[in-house]
A and B are shown apart, each in its own frame.
Chain A
């Protein structure tokens, strides 16, 4: 595998020709990729975008021949430096992986083996690729690799285990592993999707500088258009296993030719947020064709509904009032000692009835702890929570049950929060059963009503969670939360795991439901772009404290705190002008 491979006549580093991938199922082979063609040259950064299920991750896996389950390459070729990897033997692939093609996986939480130390996992990469020999040299190389990936105190951390690392640090380890052998091509599959915007930016900057120094080609897979446009010269848009559009990034974003790309751009909240703002400020001067993007209109409509709501709610008693809320955890520092960690530090806020407050901040800022305290899943150390005029800290038994009835949660992971063994109808009816509402027949009617409310077909009641898409599952979770006709819904990262198109639909649904049912939302998220389209008020949390709280427009237009500005600047694609 030298650079001067005589068979490499095309001169491209990577050339994918008519690539087809099929998955064997009980009903025959299902095609996941249908004739993919693209090329990459040394030092080039190419981004593949598309929603989940579009085949972008499958393309990445096919290149290094690590297709999951029953997947196999059923046609075409993957020419890497002129050599067809689709026909390579197992040992040839083992030689190429790691050494010539590096890979940075999507989810830093599940991609490191929990039972081995970080050092062990980096060192085995170094040994497998023959980068160093001898215990001391391997160790030194491992430290070097981790330091390059941006882990400053690498030497101390070698003996630590993945669970002792934060998501960002784990992703740095994975990037270090991927780049350890200075491969000519690095495939990064959603390398930062699981991370906060600020961490995301630091990691991507770092990745860019590393690949630049070594002229490593970077194949970057993401569902975030803004991110792709900011980071890649070339953009490939995939839809249902096909490339629908490819070309220079800015050109595609400003003049999308394919309707799917147009929808994708319209739905991306990081870009849409600019539009809502301009719609409010200068109604006459909008350049884009509103009618061409359905989701865009909905978001504007949602924003208008919100303004009306806000006017009505002013002066009324707040639905939620939180005063001087503090939560201290004991964390173990080794041995039998422990020290106090203040997760929530003297937090106060009030949410007027029928409005939405967004609580934003990086992970670890305490925003989810606030949600847990509010829902009564954790006990506050001090401070009070007043819901609909009633203090909650001393509620027990029946009163607590009544409180839960008025306040329902929707959680982040639509895969994890539905019981796979219960069908959708039973899942939605469960809160009704627990609270003893109605009889069997009336509960069934209510389930049908709820399914209509969240725009799901009624037949879905008999299906099971694994038969549903992520967006449908999140709708089910919302329907379940609404079953008891609550006044307050706590949404903890409720749309963070969803694709842009689905995200836009869910946000629209939430806005509609709020207008219809006078709901009060506490919306917890790390994604400021989403905040712009859904929230009336924003509270920014940093290290357990609320550092800034104001109306959404104030926070976005005149952020007072540096931390808020950093969060805003870190929204990918915020500096790029979009054209639809």
Chain B
């Protein structure tokens, strides 16, 4: 808040100093009021202690792209027995950095590992990912590229071909209160959906509510130790073969999809589909009868084009009146398209007379025509087609 006031004062000063200039628009001032985090991010390790030197030669070939030695690795990074030098503590370390003025910036990988020496000068965010910090599909929350496959050892950045919110934790010291220890340590990295601990094996599976939290936790807890002296082995979890877990996961994915679909569609239409609007059914019956007694067009026809099409493309141009569309029929190709539509409605996907490729081509032509602006109609209404499926 004080920042905002300062900004306002500076602005005022600037305007008084050079009167010739036009005062900046008021909206700019509004834009300046950014909700800031209270605290600057703390450097997690002493910057003086950080040495910037080439990595120790572990292989025979230096890969300039990845800044790594390759070939003849003596130590696998993921099963290494060296403990992480530091650990991130969200409550003390998090704060604003340079990146906070740029929404959508990824989180700092070194912050998650607890070894970022830059503090508030870091170009990445120093905070715990929230529910709305959804990284792009091809990257993880640290801005690293994801790939279509997991590594064979399930380490690393992860895959974009599966939404994985579960991490595997191995080599936990087996004790009586192992469940409590795991729950306490992993609750630091975001809201948890469920935890499954195999008590006697020293293995746990932690499922977070959001994928980005799982990504953060995986980096934050790698090679760390819990209450005892141990070095955790943290990886992505493979798919849970338990039938109940599968059902749960399938349901979640369906809900996610349905949510996105609902956002993309008009509200009244969704209510009709879900059968929540009792009048909608009657209206549907009237509209889709196309003037024929006792006929109700199937969903494919009713929802294909028009103001209530599921596909946004189908709604295109339907802000205009239904009648105006008929003017287009003066054009030759439009008529062809119209016929194609009739054909496709009459032969729904069975591909009876026409081959599927012909149908596809016709439909493509129809879409191309339909997306043209309707105002281009030159001739008057010629054909008294009542509707497409007449």
Q: Do A and B bind each other?
A: no
